[in-house]
Amino acid sequence: MGYELNMRVWRGDASGGHLGSYAVEVEEGEVVLDAIHRLQATQAGDLAVRWNCKAGKCGSCSAEINGRPRLMCMTRLADFEETETITVTPMRTFPVIRDLVTDVSFNYEKAKQLPSFAPAPRDRDGKRRMMQVDVERGQEFRKCIECFLCQDVCHVVRDHDENKPAFAGPRFFLRYAELDMHPLDTNDRRQLAQDAAGLGMCNITKCCTEVCPEGIKITDNAIIPMKERVVDRKYDPVVWLGSKILRRDQRREVGPARPTPQPESHRPRPKGVLTRPEVARALATDLPAWSRTGDAISRSVDAPSFMDGIRLVLRVAELAESHDHHPDIDIRWRTVTFTLSTHSAGGVTARDLRLAREIDELAG
């Protein structure tokens, strides 16, 4: 039944580390993650490891076991000899945070760059119709649990940090293929997959398919068809003609996704920057001549003559110097526009409101 397992587990952080040797009691039927948990509970309470479902469904506990990228929860101890020492190290392609935990933000950044699903309108009854055979291709790709083992094993980025900016990796080729094959999508991402995501850098070594714990045929079913589609689009005159006729190809070519720009009120607000309602209240109560545009407030003054306008600008300039807070000034014949914003804070602050009041006094 139970036996003592010898393990080597990488311990350390970004500044360096080493393989720690441990002996841990294990039981029949256990997986590598069980052994790691027992280490945590009995010998190394601070051993850092990610995990969640422990059933191969969430893709959190990715690591390299004896050098092979695997899920710790799906790697059975029975697959090793009892006398064999099992070595567990963090995924190599991503920077280490601590012990077995790596910084996988690369993947979340790549996800943000991908233009999302853009469906055609619903049918008249408010529902949508797709045939099972048409959704099955996409469904295979949507089995992905985002364990990022395919990203980890991919030689384009493994040990090649310099390729990361231009290469999205197998996980996202899967996503491109999924959307490209979606019966209701209206975006054309083929050029983008080739250019921005670096599909062309993949030379189909199939390592990603080999390590996929979900058994998704990443290379055969996603990457190769995507490569073919990109090529078709470029060179095939029939496809070109078809694209003029068939609905399916009347798709909109899209560039890299920029997350829907949040209204500025949605961005984290630095210290001192007033909220929109706060600005609105100030303008309403004692700065009626001012209005807000974006991150700034502005007011125009109609001077009696061009030279009166210039004299006003001079007085405001002196005031601004004394406060070390400078407005943007626009002069058009006898109309002068002052725009105030605290650029260092990225928005309207109390300093802007004070300067606005003083400009009002000078302008009358």
Residue ranges in 336-355 that form contacts with other proteins under rule CB under 8 A: none
What is the CA 13 to chain-centroid distance, rounded?
Answer: 24
What Cα–Cα distance (Å) separates residue 116 from each residue in 73, 112, 149, 259, 281?
31, 9, 23, 9, 38
Q: Please, which residue, 67 or 263, has the CB nearer to other proteins?
A: 263
Over its C-alpha atoms, the chain yields an Rg (Å, rounded) of 30
How far apart, in Å, are the Cα atoms of 123 and each of 118, 126, 264? 15, 5, 35
Rule CB under 8 A: choose which of 3, 68, 82, 117 binds other proteins. Answer: 117
CA separation for the pair 176, 198 (Å, rounded): 12
Looking at the Cβ atoms of 52 and 250, the one nearer to other proteins is 52
Q: Is 40 in the site for other proteins (CB under 8 A)?
A: yes
Report the distance separating Cα 40 and Cα 320, nearest Å.
Answer: 61
Which range of residues in 97-105, 165-173, 229-237, 297-305 is near other proteins by CB under 8 A?
A: 97-105
Contact code string over 161-200 relative to other proteins, x by CB under 8 A: ------------------x--x------------------
Closer CB to other proteins, 277 or 304, in the complex: 277
With respect to other proteins, which residue has the nearer C-beta, 64 or 99? 99
Whether the Cβ atoms of residue 343 and residue 308 lie closer than 8 Å to each other: no
| Residues of span 223-262 touching other proteins by CB under 8 A | 257, 259-262
272 sits near other proteins (criterion: CB under 8 A): no
Pick the piece of the chain touching other proteins (CB under 8 A) from 223-231, 245-253, 275-283, 305-313: 275-283
By CB under 8 A, the residues from 128 to 147 that bind other proteins are 128-132, 135, 138-139, 142-146
Selected from 24, 91, 104, 222, the binder of other proteins by CB under 8 A is: 104
> What is the nearest approach in angstroms of other proteins to the Cβ of residue 139?
5
